Amino acid sequence: MAFLCTVVHWAALGCGVVLAFRYFRALGDVTQAVFNVQRAELISAAEDEGRTLALIAGCAAASVMTHIAGAGDGWVVIGALALMILCTAFPWLWVHVGLRGQQTSARYFDVQAAASALADDDEVLVVEAAGQTWAFADREIRRPHVAGVGAGTGAGVGLNHRLVMTYCALSRLGMAVEVPESADLSVAGQFGNNLILKMDGACLQQIYAGTPACTSGLRRVAVIRMSWRCYRSTHPDGLVYLNPMGLWSRNPLLRLVDEVVERVFDRALDTHHRTDALMFETLSNEDDRLSRKTLVWGIAEGDEAAAFTSAYVQSQGVVNTEVGGLSVALTFDEDAGCLAAFERPAGVQIRQLNCHGRSDVGLLRRIRTLYPGMYWFAWVNFFPGTALDETTSGVQPAAAAVG
């Protein structure tokens, strides 16, 4: 009996430590700077998170009970339990508390109320639906990564759906998607310097709004970038997302977590945005046609992808192109700091166009699949072989882009 107790003790202790370390390695985020974490490993850990934590807790309980019965060494048990707690607590607190999403709790302010929080030259991501606009500054949405806008047809989305803005600071990508109102969209981590989201237990790559194979995904909503100065003057009745921290007196522990996360982001992202260095050198594909941090506006349709720089579009006035069978016209408004893309009639060349879609052939509809002003390194990592600053598109086998 004593022998069996000893075997169970050491097996439980060993399994608990191994499971906790694997959980930490896969979901610790910063661990990708040290360990070669594979996408499949991260996805598996995120989707099985509940079961893994339950197994770790069970192993810890079994090791403690068998130690009380006389098995093992006390100091070893204490050290192993401490390691399990550390390896599980850090990723869980970072993702579920520090990066907690705001799908149903995002706060919006009118333009006048938000004026003191934003500078004229700040860029905002703008979403428009059902005659209403919402603006998101990079700095405001970078911590929660997920901010819900509204539910039902009143927000210009499908019945029983909610419009949600997602944001990845590493790739500088803001994407709006429609999410079932009953679904829970949250952050799971990042891979390839792009956000991994989890919806009802299943993981999605943000840049695909679905799986890497693009076989299942969320419906996207058009997003453009413009300066805060332009948004304020052209959308005086628009709403602005802000993410003020809670009061110390109301919840000091939560405020402390937010302060720590904000300072970590300030320090880490400052270098990331100013230089070509990456926080995580985990790219599967690189392309030296542009420097890593050049901003591009990408379009992906079917098996084709194309990217455009603002300098190229500005030099052309209007760019007429096709991507995956979709006829597109792009233009750049220097005053607004806005590059916009619209669907044009097939075979029709657009000669005059502004960032609101007014053209020489009438009002054009924004395309939903524009990736507004993201980093080149992130775009080409997920869409290798993309066309660049051309009037014809390049073929991109999206399913094999990042493994």
**Whether residues 389 and 350 fall in one domain:** yes
Provide the pLDDT for residue 100: 93
Highest mean predicted confidence (pLDDT) among 64-73, 149-158, 169-178, 203-212: 169-178
Residue 213 has pLDDT above 70, yes or no: no
**Whether residues 122 and 209 fall in one domain:** yes
Q: Which range is least confidently modeled, 5-14, 211-220, 268-277?
A: 211-220
**Whether residues 81 and 136 fall in one domain:** no
**Whether residues 131 and 80 fall in one domain:** no
Domain-embedded: residue 290:
no
Mean pLDDT value of segment 10-33: 92
Average model confidence (pLDDT) across the chain: 89
pLDDT in tens, 319-348: 999 998 999 999 998 888 899 999 999 889
HSE-CB for 259 with a 13 A CA cutoff: 9
pLDDT: which is higher, 217 or 21: 21
**Whether residues 186 and 164 fall in one domain:** yes
Domain-embedded: residue 320:
yes
| pLDDT bracket for residue 151 (50, 70, 90) | low
Provide the pLDDT for residue 8: 87
pLDDT: which is higher, 99 or 129: 99
**Whether residues 349 and 305 fall in one domain:** yes
Residue at a domain's end among 73, 98, 123: 98
Q: What is the number of structural domains in the chain?
A: 3
Residue 395 has pLDDT above 70, yes or no: no
pLDDT in tens, 251-304: 999 999 999 999 999 988 988 899 998 888 888 899 999 999 999 999 999 889
**Whether residues 88 and 127 fall in one domain:** no
Share of the chain above pLDDT 70, in %: 93
Mean pLDDT value of segment 229-247: 92
**Whether residues 17 and 73 fall in one domain:** yes
**Whether residues 84 and 161 fall in one domain:** no
Host domain of residue 372: 295-400
- Paired strand residues for 275: none
**Whether residues 111 and 220 fall in one domain:** yes
**Whether residues 131 and 214 fall in one domain:** yes
**Whether residues 111 and 92 fall in one domain:** no
pLDDT: which is higher, 33 or 185: 185
Domain-embedded: residue 284:
no
Domain-embedded: residue 274:
no
Provide the pLDDT for residue 206: 95
Mean pLDDT value of segment 6-18: 92
